[in-house]
Structures are given as structure tokens and as C-alpha cells.
Amino acid sequence: MTHIKLIKSGGFIGLIQSAETDTSIDKQELIQAFTKAAAKKNVQARDAENYVVYVDKAHYSIDAEALSGAAKKLIDSLMDHLKPVKL
């Protein structure tokens, strides 16, 4: 099992949210998908939402819209379960 944690930050009010789960999806398949969907920084984007995925201890900044297949289903499911992070 691979532990996955999604952190979403930014947006209009700067809210930080997270969700996590364990998955049986092949770890290398997920790493490849997240690397391929690497987020590109847009310095002109205001109120942009940022997504960081932790695969065990490694982390990847991703463009959630660029995902496909099992990785997309996993991230979509985590997005449905995002909860605010208390600082």
C-alpha cells in the first residue's frame, strides 16, 4: 500500500485543505503520472489554487487538470474529501 496525501492551497481566501488515503495503485505509476502533470508556475495568476501530492515522503506540485487514468480518479476522490487544515 502507498500512502497519498493531497494538499490544496490558495484560492480567493487562501484556505489550506488536505485529504489522505492509502492506495493499492502501483507507486511508480503514480509517481510517473504526477511527474508528467507537474504544475507550471504562472506568476500572473492571482488567487490560483495549488495542489501538492505526497507519495509516502516524496512530494509533487501538480496541475490536477493534467492527470488521467487511475491517478486522476484517485486525486478526484481525495478532492471530494478535502478538509480545512487548522494552523
SS3 70: helix
Residue-wise pLDDT tens digits, 29-51: 999 999 999 877 665 665 678 89
- Which residue, 81, 85, 41, is CA-closest to 63? 41
Between strands 49-55 and 83-84, the pairing is unpaired
Residue-wise pLDDT tens digits, 50-87: 899 999 989 999 998 899 999 999 999 999 999 999 87
